[in-house]
A and B are shown apart, each in its own frame.
Chain A
Amino acid sequence: MSTYIIKRLLIIFPLLLGISIVVFFVSHLIPGSAMEIFMGTQVEATPEQVAELKKIFGEDKPLIVRYFEWVKDLLKGDFGVSLRTSRKVLPDIMARLPLTVELTILSLTLAVLIGIPIGIYAALKHNPLVSLIIRIGSLLGLSIPQFWLATMLILFFARYFHMSDIGNFVPFFENPIGNLKFMLLPSISMALGMASVLVRFTRTSMLEVLGADYIRTARSKGLSEGVVLKKHALKNALLPVITVIGFYAGYLLGGAIVIEEIFALPGIGRLMLYAIEKRDYPVIQGTVIIVALLFIFINLLVDILYGIIDPRIRYE
């Protein structure tokens, strides 16, 4: 197990190297540059001024040189300075990361709380009408775009309750109640799709386990249905569900970009969108690297968790 973890950790380095190359050159491939956007269309500048600005924005050196300088700093833990705000990139990202993580965790929790019980219920209930409704309902949940759900929630609450906390974000540790009140709508918008996936997955997984030999044996031993369910079926059925959750962490993070934009949440997704818009290369690169790390970490965690719950799995 531990060798496996070490092996997985070692893969991170070549992976990060690959990501760093891709993100650096791809973000410079985006037409336009940070300096051009800084200048906009209304600023007069002489050629010598432009040359100076190029130096200020680091655009006077060849791309490849800039790449190595960036990596060199990165290895020292220095993510560089934003071209837009001249603030250090890493502290800025770290200040925003908690929000995105909170949003992800909250929506995941909501999804689990809604999705798994319904999924189990759907598996146990043999009424065809109920299962048809749950099935179509879960497909409907998958079909609603997150951003539209978010818009509808805003519309509904703003129009009919004159209630909108947009733009009044407070960090959780400063004001937990205000924070949760604020995060509720964004989390719901993100949770619905995920919950639908969980309903479907839990149901299938549960049905499969219920049909398995050891459950039949348990039943034939005369154990009560409740015990069978709790002790055996549920545990085994939820195993694959954990993988799904890990698997969809990316889906949630991706969704966070749009949701943060709609609700004006100061999270990492919105930071990234702004950085792309302003061609703020150090920030684009920094956010992508951090998101990638987060991603790798979640996948690793899921694997390890899986191994702990089910030691039968062999790591090769």
Chain B
Amino acid sequence: MNRLIKNYVFLLGVIIVLLYIFISLFTSYITGYTPEQMNPDDMLSAPNKKHIFGTDQFGRDIFTRIVYGTRVSFLVATSSVAISLMTGVTVGLISGFFGGWIDNLLMRVMDVIFTFPAMLLAIFIMAVLGETIFNIVLAIGIIYTPQFARVSRASVLSVKNMDYIQAAIALGVSRFGIITRHILKNILASIIVQASLTLSLAILLESALSFLGLGVQPPAPSWGNMLSTSREFMIIAPWTAIFPGLAIVLLVLGFNLLGDGLRDILDPKLRRML
């Protein structure tokens, strides 16, 4: 019975994420408008047959902007998580493998990044670098590096002194090679889980930054900046604020369900981690 429930969670997550992937791949088939197409005669229209989610202050179709916004969200989320993952795992491996002062230094740096409020860090990074999509990816990538570093470091430490590794070393196999191979296999499960949860965090952070005006800038459609501009109009046009928000919630939920389900399937021991 329990297993089935876990699968429900996982399945639901997969369905949601696949839905969004589908949407982002076939944008132009899904909607007849373009995201930047303005219509001054049709400003802030309530949802209707022509515009199922209504229009914004420029008369642009909100549904279309959400659809195209999916691409931005995916782009930002996957590339920033890729950065976190690669840097994090590298740092974790080096740290766990060499130990000593290198370990100490790297882990303190990770601690500083980790303990600082993510939002604050992101605001600072964006202020210094400027508000381009590339910089958002970089900022989010840096911020979520420590989680990956910790997971992989812990894993290195746990296998480093195992008998068969020591035996392999005694037989003259390169220590680094064996550990890397063994560990990468070992941490794969936790990394996958971590990655899918981080995807959700990345989307949330991107939208919050864009909401503050520090993220993706208009006219590029991003859910966060749609919400940011909608603040001015939402009292007369609530749909400008409701739908982009729902789009965020659903995708983030999808990644969360996916990660949570994966965790149960891949490694029940990991359940305590979050």
Contacts and interface: CB of A to CB of B under 8 A. Distances in A.
A touches B in complex, CB < 8 A: yes
Interface of A: 18, 26-27, 29-31, 128, 131-132, 135-136, 139-140, 142-148, 151-152, 155, 158-159, 197, 200-201, 204-205, 208, 250-251, 253-255, 257-258, 261, 272-273, 276, 288, 291-292, 295, 299
A250 B238 CA distance: 32
A128 B5 CA distance: 7
Interface string B244-268: 0100111011001100100000000
By Cβ-Cβ distance, the 7 closest A-B pairs, closest first, are: A254-B117, A254-B119, A143-B252, A143-B253, A148-B245, A139-B256, A250-B117
A59 B92 CA distance: 41
A159 B249 CA distance: 22
17 contacts: A30-B128, A128-B4, A135-B9, A135-B260, A136-B257, A142-B256, A148-B248, A152-B241, A155-B234, A197-B274, A204-B271, A205-B272, A253-B120, A261-B212, A276-B124, A291-B117, A295-B115
B159 interface: no
Contact of B245 (A29, A151, A255): A151
Interface string B1-23: 11011001100100000000000
B116 interface: yes
A269 to B, nearest CB: 8
B204 A151 contact: no
A208 B2 CA distance: 16
Interface string B113-133: 001111110011001101000
Nearest to B116: A250
B171 interface: no
A142 to B, nearest CB: 6
A148 B207 CA distance: 10
B211 interface: yes
Contacts, number: 120
Interface in B86-143: 112, 115-120, 123-124, 127-128, 130
B231 interface: yes
B272 A132 contact: no
Contact of A159 (B2, B119, B235, B257): B235
Contact of B249 (A29, A132, A136, A143): A143
**Residue among A140, A143, A201, A288 with max Cβ neighbours from chain B (10 Å):** A143
A41 B257 CA distance: 50
Given A18-B112, A148-B249, A299-B115, 9 more contacts: A131-B5, A143-B252, A145-B207, A146-B208, A152-B245, A159-B235, A254-B118, A257-B120, A295-B117
Interface residues of B, number: 44
Nearest to A249: B117
A140 B248 CA distance: 11
Interface of B: 1-2, 4-5, 8-9, 12, 112, 115-120, 123-124, 127-128, 130, 200, 204, 207-208, 211-212, 227, 231, 234-235, 238, 241-242, 245, 248-250, 252-253, 256-257, 260, 271-272, 274
A280 B256 CA distance: 39
A258 B241 contact: no
Contacts of B200: 142-143
A136 B127 CA distance: 36
A276 B248 contact: no
A257 B112 CA distance: 19
Contacts of A142: 200, 252, 256
Contact of B227 (A26, A151, A201, A253): A151
A251 B118 contact: yes
Contacts of B245: 145, 148, 151-152
B127 A30 contact: yes
Contacts of B257: 136, 139
B86 to A, nearest CB: 24
Contacts of B208: 145-147, 258
Contact of B117 (A155, A205, A253): A253
Contacts of A145: 204, 207-208, 211, 245, 248-249, 252
A299 B115 CA distance: 9
A96 to B, nearest CB: 15
Contacts of A253: 117, 120
